[in-house]
Structure 1
Amino acid sequence: MARDVSDATPIGARSELVEWIASGEKPRESWRLGTEHEKVPFYKADATPVPYEGERGIRALLEGMQGLTGWQPIIENGHPIGLADEEGGGAISLEPGGQFELSGAPLKTLHETAAETALHLEQVKAIGERLGVGFLTLGMSPLWTRAQTPVMPKARYRIMTDYMPKVGTLGLDMMYRTATVQVNMDYASEADMVKKLRVSLALQPVATAIFANSPFTDGRPNGFLSMRSQIWRDTDRDRTGMMAFAFEDGFGYERYVDWALDVPMYFVKRDSTYHDVAGASFRDLFAGKLAQLPGERATQSDWANHVSTLFPEVRLKRYLEMRGADVGGPEHITALSAFWTGLLYDEAALDGAWELVKAWSAEERERLRVDVPKQALRATIGGRSVQDVARDALALSRQGLARRGCRDAQGRDETHHLDHAGEIVETGRTIAERLLERYHGAWGGSVLPAFRECVF
């Protein structure tokens, strides 16, 4: 989840909220990609969860990473809760259940993304070795109950923990037990944003299918291939989902802002204090009429923090966040970024992707979102299997990456970063399905082997 920002500049008009999003526009030559991935830590000796405190806890892991990277600690109420690379723009943060997240720096190429991920994993494994801690390559912790899962000392998470059961049945599982990989993408203009948002929203369930990797919960199969994706369906309907309104005529920055204004808030941050206003209206804060904080008016940081608590399948901030995929191993992480970079950063590929999805109705898109967590590549839309759609989308992405012509030191372009996804689509067998085969076969009906085999 995002690092909360501090900017006390008051907001005087709705137009400033629109301008805040529009300020993300960048010319093509300035486009970057930022890859984020979460990973669940565990003690290697006995496959138990890692608490925050203790000589071998999450805090010790953060402090070890600080010593190794030189990044600046992010402190909340005396607790280190993350690290920031002030020069490069990357960060390390903690998800509610201790999931360890790298928010990668904005980078030009997928080669740089792969190198960044490799360096981070080398560092985190070096510190983990000292502490006896490993990290799972699964989209959901496969063994521990919610009650057994640790809780990180972040005030916004306490507020969310209290609120989640009021608006859905699985929000706490989302917070404490899932792990994702995301890629953040730029846009040049409002029209470019709209086109990219529509294409990526429509294809987000296809990405979910390709990268499905969360088939176990509470020590056994959960009936899904991407349980992480299924969990999002019953987290909080006000702030999640496929945003059907994004496909309506006239959609743009203003329509997104109006939607965001109507999503209930979680908190208002003043200095270092998080005020619990869960369920309250940002419009009331904007008007100075928020009952919990009489007289307070919205600031730039209030808006930035509020937008970071919206969780649609693709999120618009001052860039677009692709949010549909389970985490996996290093090649899985870079392949997700490669998939979207090839599709969204090449004009011909983007046009081709729009041709793929433009005839789908809102009902068809929503049905696909419902079916994919369980069926993955076997789900259908518009009379075609997701496997077929994914094959076409990957071909477009590969062509887009080839046209980008970004070469590494060996002279290779970026297309090889798609090989992991390509092999899944060609065989029609997701990582989740392969793990289920192992569970019913070599693993002997136990998920404990995952703590040896599904690790970074």
Structure 2
Amino acid sequence: MARDQIDTQPIESRDELVGWLEAGNKAADRFRIGTEHEKFPFTLLGHDPVPYEGDCGIRALLEGMQALNDWEPIMEGSTIIGLADTIGGGAISLEPGGQFELSGAPLLTIHETCAEVNGHLDQVRDVATPLGVGFLGLGMSPKWTLAETPVMPKGRYRIMANYMPKVGSHGLDMMFRTCTVQVNLDFASEPDMVKKLRVGLALQPIATALFANSPFTEGKPNGFLSFRSEIWRDTDNNRAGMLPFAFEDGMGFERYVDYALDVPMYFIKRGDHYIDVAGSSFRDLLAGRHPAVPGETATVSDWANHLSTIFPEVRLKRYLEMRGADGGPWAKLCALPALWTGLLYDAASLDAAWELAKGWTAEQRQKLRDDVPTLGFKAEIGGRSVLEVARDVVAIARAGLARRDYRDSQGRDETRFLVTLEDGLARGKTPAECLLDRFHGAWGGSVDPVFDEDAY
């Protein structure tokens, strides 16, 4: 989850909320790629979760990273909860169960993104290995119960953890036991935002299948290929899902603001203090009549923080966040931004992707979303299997990356980052099915080998 915003400028009208989103419009030559990924820390001996405190805990890991890269510590009171690169724009933050997240800097090419990921993982290993800690990229922690999973000392997470069980059956699983990789991409105008949002929403289940990587819970197969994706189907449906209104006439920044205003709030932050207002209305805060802060109106920080607590399959801020993929191994961390950059940052590919999906109905899109966590490539839409559609989608992305023609120092373009997806499509198997083959075969019914074989 993103770092909380700090901007106390007051906002007093719906138009100002719309204007805040519109300010994300930028010229195409300023488009950038921001990649975020989460990973599970575990003890190298025993494959247990890593607590926050202790000589070999998460705090020690953050302090070691800070000493190594000289990033600015992000504090909550006297507690270090992350690190910020004040020059490049990246950050390291903690998810509720100790998942370690790199929020990458906004970069021009996938080559730069992959170099950033490599540099980060090298640093993490340098600090973590002497502490006896490793890192695993999967969509769901494969072994630990909720009770065994540590809780990070962040005020917003305490509020969310109290509220989640009231609005869905899987909110705590989402918070404490899942990991994702996502990419944040820019738009040039309101029509460009709408087209990219629609393509992103329609094709998000295809990305979920391509990256499905969470078939284990508490040491056993859980019956899903992407249990992380299934968890989101019953976490908090007031703030998650496929946003069918985005495909209706009149969609734009105003319509998204109206949607966001109707999503219940989690908290109001004043200074370092989180005020629990879970379930209350941002409209009341905007009007200066919220009982938690009588007489105060909303600030830019309040709005930005509220938007960060909305979790649809594609999230609109001053950029678009693609949110459908499970966390995975190194190659997948580069493949996810390559896929969406190839689809959305080339005009011909964006047109082709919309042509592929524009005939699907809201009901078809929702059924696809519901089926993919279980069926993966075997799910169907419009009379075609997801495997067939995914092959088309990856081919469209490849063509877009080829036309972008950004080369690395060896003369290679960005299409090489799609090879891991094309290999999976050639096999006709999701990553989760490959994990299950190993579980039932060489691993002898144990998930423990995943910590050795698939760690970063």
TM-score by length of 1: 0.99
Are 2:120 and 1:120 equivalent residues in the alignment?
Answer: yes
Q: 1:167, 1:284 → 2: CA distance?
A: 21
Q: Give 1:291 deviation, angstroms.
A: 2.0
Partner of 1:60, secondary structure, is helix
Q: Give 1:444 deviation, angstroms.
A: 0.9
Residue 310 of structure 2 aligns with an amino acid whose one-letter code is: L
Which residue of the partner structure matches residue 258 of structure 1?
Answer: 258
Q: Summarize the alignment of residues 289-304 of structure 1 with structure 2, pairs less than 5 Å apart.
A: 289-304=289-304
Which residue of the partner structure matches residue 432 of structure 2?
Answer: 432
Which residue of the partner structure matches residue 232 of structure 1?
Answer: 232
Q: Give 1:293 deviation, angstroms.
A: 2.4
Which residue of the partner structure matches residue 156 of structure 2?
Answer: 156
Partner of 1:80, secondary structure, is strand
Q: Give 1:385 deviation, angstroms.
A: 0.4
Which residue of the partner structure matches residue 109 of structure 2?
Answer: 109
Which residue of the partner structure matches residue 28 of structure 1?
Answer: 28
Q: Give 1:296 deviation, angstroms.
A: 2.0
Which residue of the partner structure matches residue 327 of structure 1?
Answer: 327
Are 2:191 and 1:195 equivalent residues in the alignment?
Answer: no
Q: Give 1:297 deviation, angstroms.
A: 1.2
Q: Give 1:252 deviation, angstroms.
A: 0.3
Residue 165 of structure 1 aligns with an amino acid whose one-letter code is: P
Q: Summarize the alignment of residues 406-417 of structure 1 with structure 2, pairs less than 5 Å apart.
A: 406-417=406-417
Which residue of the partner structure matches residue 94 of structure 1?
Answer: 94
Which residue of the partner structure matches residue 277 of structure 2?
Answer: 277
Which residue of the partner structure matches residue 208 of structure 1?
Answer: 208
Higher mean displacement: 433-442 or 256-265: 433-442
Q: 1:426, 1:285 → 2: CA distance?
A: 52
Partner of 2:162, secondary structure, is helix
Q: 2:371, 2:211 → 1: CA distance?
A: 15
Which residue of the partner structure matches residue 390 of structure 2?
Answer: 390
Q: Summarize the alignment of residues 312-391 of structure 1 with structure 2, pairs less than 5 Å apart.
A: 312-391=312-391
Partner of 1:325, secondary structure, is coil
Which residue of the partner structure matches residue 140 of structure 1?
Answer: 140
Q: 2:249, 2:424 → 1: CA distance?
A: 36
Percent identity among equivalent residues?
Answer: 66
- Contact 2:12–2:297 (8 Å) recurs in 1: no
Residue 359 of structure 2 aligns with an amino acid whose one-letter code is: A
- Contact 2:12–2:287 (8 Å) recurs in 1: no
Q: 1:444, 1:396 → 2: CA distance?
A: 39
Q: 1:12, 1:177 → 2: CA distance?
A: 38
Partner of 1:224, secondary structure, is coil
Which residue of the partner structure matches residue 178 of structure 1?
Answer: 178
Q: 2:365, 2:414 → 1: CA distance?
A: 30
Q: 2:127, 2:248 → 1: CA distance?
A: 49
Q: 1:450, 1:218 → 2: CA distance?
A: 13
Q: 1:250, 1:290 → 2: CA distance?
A: 30
Q: Give 1:312 deviation, angstroms.
A: 0.1
Higher mean displacement: 179-188 or 422-431: 422-431
Q: 2:145, 2:370 → 1: CA distance?
A: 25
Residue 430 of structure 2 aligns with an amino acid whose one-letter code is: T
Q: 1:405, 1:434 → 2: CA distance?
A: 32
Partner of 2:80, secondary structure, is strand
Partner of 1:376, secondary structure, is helix
Residue 224 of structure 1 aligns with an amino acid whose one-letter code is: F
Which residue of the partner structure matches residue 63 of structure 1?
Answer: 63
Are 2:12 and 1:38 equivalent residues in the alignment?
Answer: no
Q: 2:30, 2:297 → 1: CA distance?
A: 34
Q: Give 1:333 deviation, angstroms.
A: 0.7
Partner of 2:73, secondary structure, is strand
Residue 198 of structure 1 aligns with an amino acid whose one-letter code is: R
Higher mean displacement: 317-326 or 419-428: 419-428
Q: 2:300, 2:110 → 1: CA distance?
A: 32
Q: 1:448, 1:438 → 2: CA distance?
A: 11
Q: 2:107, 2:229 → 1: CA distance?
A: 27
Residue 293 of structure 2 aligns with an amino acid whose one-letter code is: L
Q: Summarize the alignment of residues 40-55 of structure 1 with structure 2, pairs less than 5 Å apart.
A: 40-55=40-55
Which residue of the partner structure matches residue 131 of structure 1?
Answer: 131
Q: 1:150, 1:83 → 2: CA distance?
A: 20
Encode CA deviations 1:254-300: one digit per residue, 9 max, x unaligned. Answer: 00000000000000001111000000000011111112222221111
- Contact 2:134–2:455 (8 Å) recurs in 1: yes
Q: 1:95, 1:13 → 2: CA distance?
A: 32
Encode CA deviations 1:217-252: one digit per residue, 9 max, x unaligned. Answer: 011000000000000000000000000000000100
Q: 1:89, 1:167 → 2: CA distance?
A: 34
Partner of 2:16, secondary structure, is helix
Which residue of the partner structure matches residue 242 of structure 1?
Answer: 242
Partner of 1:49, secondary structure, is coil
Q: Give 1:12 deviation, angstroms.
A: 2.0
Partner of 1:101, secondary structure, is strand
